[in-house]
């Protein structure tokens, strides 16, 4: 069961980490809050708009103790585990539980291509549904949708009108707005944010429009 992994099971577990850094949360419900980000290395997807391709390879192997020690060097109580695709490394589940046990408010950013059912229920799962323009729509694992609760968020990254119409259809088909919070983001530097905002208002969608605040502040600088 989530949250019941023993300390013994965590002994010797390691994760390949691209970076651990402190910044402002740029998206979602906790946007603007100072947050510690743990970016895991590796991803099985290759979305056309990916802005963290530097995390596909490399990284440093760290134990859970080493990761926890680094996270605790900042005073923030918010931690986001991201990637890459964090769930591609199985010990990620242990890390999420360990961070929750330490009293952090933990969120997980995941592509939606891998099973989220074993993630600790205390974790806020921010799950993508990949739009046609991503080039990875066929990787969506729709079996994840029934696992989502009101604590969770599902994100659509939208590059054009076709992506938008597809996303609206998914909201209707899966009753997403009744299940969890829905986020719509324009692809950075590809789609005019105002255009997406106008579409949302015209259709009276029950979604949260969001911009990537960290991009506005720091551009594509790693560790931000």
Tell me the pLDDT tens digit for each residue of 16-34: 999 999 999 999 999 999 9
CATH superfamily entry for domain 7-218: Aldolase class I (3.20.20.70)
Considering only CA atoms, which of 15, 27, 147, 11 is closest in space to residue 78? 27
Q: Is the pLDDT of residue 3 over 60?
A: no
Helix, coil or strand: residue 184: strand
Omega within 30 of 0 (cis) for the link into 84 = yes
Mode of pairing for the β-strands spanning 60-63 and 105-110: unpaired
Q: Is the pLDDT of residue 2 over 80?
A: no
Average pLDDT, stretch 92-117? 98
What pLDDT, on the 0 to 100 scale, is given for residue 10? 54
Q: Is the pLDDT of residue 90 over 80?
A: yes
Mode of pairing for the β-strands spanning 34-40 and 181-186: unpaired
Q: Is the pLDDT of residue 184 over 90?
A: yes
Chain mean pLDDT for the chain: 93
- Residue 5: band (very low, low, confident or very high) from pLDDT cuts 50, 70, 90: very low
**What angle in degrees, to the nearest 10, is found between the helix axes of 92-101 and 64-71?**
40
What pLDDT, on the 0 to 100 scale, is given for residue 216? 85
What pLDDT, on the 0 to 100 scale, is given for residue 215? 79
Q: Is the pLDDT of residue 62 over 80?
A: yes
Tell me the pLDDT tens digit for each residue of 137-183: 999 999 999 999 999 999 999 999 999 999 999 999 999 999 999 99
Better-scored residue on pLDDT, 177 or 7:
177
Bridge partners (DSSP) listed for residue 14: 63
Q: Is the pLDDT of residue 73 over 90?
A: yes
Q: Is the pLDDT of residue 58 over 50?
A: yes
Q: Is the pLDDT of residue 1 over 60?
A: no
Bridge partners (DSSP) listed for residue 39: 19, 82
- Inter-CA distances, 107 with 19, 28, 124, 204, Å: 16, 10, 4, 28
Q: Is the pLDDT of residue 135 over 60?
A: yes
What pLDDT, on the 0 to 100 scale, is given for residue 209? 97
Q: Measure the CA–CA gap between 87 and 45, rounded to whole angstroms.
A: 12
Average pLDDT, stretch 65-76? 98
pTM of the model: 0.91
Distance separating the N- and C-terminal Cα atoms of the chain? 34
């Amino acid at each position: 069961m989530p949250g019941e992994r023993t300390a013994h099971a965590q002994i010797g577990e390691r994760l390949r980490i691209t970076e651990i850094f402190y910044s402002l949360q740029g998206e979602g419900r906790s946007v603007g809050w100072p947050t510690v980000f743990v970016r895991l290395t590796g991803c099985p997807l290759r979305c056309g708009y990916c802005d963290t391709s530097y995390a596909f390879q490399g990284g440093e192997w760290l134990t859970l103790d080493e990761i926890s020690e680094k996270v605790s060097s900042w005073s923030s109580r918010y931690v986001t585990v991201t990637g890459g695709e964090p769930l591609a490394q199985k010990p990620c589940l242990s890390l999420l539980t360990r961070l929750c046990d330490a009293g952090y408010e933990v969120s997980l950013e995941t592509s939606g291509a891998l099973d989220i059912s074993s993630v600790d229920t205390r974790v806020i799962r921010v799950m993508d549904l990949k739009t046609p323009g991503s080039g990875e729509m066929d990787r969506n694992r729709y079996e994840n949708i029934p696992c989502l609760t009101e604590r969770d968020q599902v994100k659509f990254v939208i590059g054009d009108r076709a992506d938008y119409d597809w996303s609206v259809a998914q909201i209707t088909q899966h009753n997403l707005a009744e299940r969890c919070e829905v986020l719509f983001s324009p692809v950075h530097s590809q789609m005019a944010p105002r255009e997406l905002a106008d579409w949302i208002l015209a259709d009276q969608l029950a979604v949260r429009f969001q911009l990537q605040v960290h991009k506005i502040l720091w551009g594509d600088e790693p560790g931000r």
